[in-house]
C-alpha cells in the first residue's frame, strides 16, 4: 500500500471523532464582588467591539475568525479567516 493511501486511511479514522466547537464573543475581568451582584438584566461590557470578528475554537484551540449571523431563529458564524496558528 502506498504512503499516500496509508495517510488517507489514518485520516479517515479521525473523521467521526467528536470535538467541542466554541465561538468566543469576547471577555472581561471582573472582581468577584461584582460577579456576585449580577442579576437577570445585568449587562456585562466585553473587551471586544461589535464590529470585531469572533473566534472559533476547537477544543480550546483557535482555528478561525468569523462574523455572527442569524440562521432562521439561531445564531451562527460565517467564517471570514482561518487562523495561522
Q: Tell me the pLDDT of the chain (85 aa) as tens digits.
A: 566 666 777 778 888 889 999 999 999 999 999 999 999 999 999 999 988 999 999 999 999 999 999 999 999 999 999 987 6
20: which 3 cell numbers?
A: 467541542
Which superfamily does 11-82 belong to?
A: SpoA-like (2.30.330.10)
Contact (CB, 8 A) for 10 and 42? no
Q: Which pTM does this prediction carry?
A: 0.71
Q: How far is CA 42 from each of CA 29, 32, 34, 35, 45, rounded to the nearest angstrom? A: 15, 15, 11, 10, 10
The full set of domain ranges for the chain reads: 11-82
Burial zone of 81 (CB within 10 Å; 0-12 exposed, 13-18 middle, 19+ buried): exposed
Amino acid at each position: 500500500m502506498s504512503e499516500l493511501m496509508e495517510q488517507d486511511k489514518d485520516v479517515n479514522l479521525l473523521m467521526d471523532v467528536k470535538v467541542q466547537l466554541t465561538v468566543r464573543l469576547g471577555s472581561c475581568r471582573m472582581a468577584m464582588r461584582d460577579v456576585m451582584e449580577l442579576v437577570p438584566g445585568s449587562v456585562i461590557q466585553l473587551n471586544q467591539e461589535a464590529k470585531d470578528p469572533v473566534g472559533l475554537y476547537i477544543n480550546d484551540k483557535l482555528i478561525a475568525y468569523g462574523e455572527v449571523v442569524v440562521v432562521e431563529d439561531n445564531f451562527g458564524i460565517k467564517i471570514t479567516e482561518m487562523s495561522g496558528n
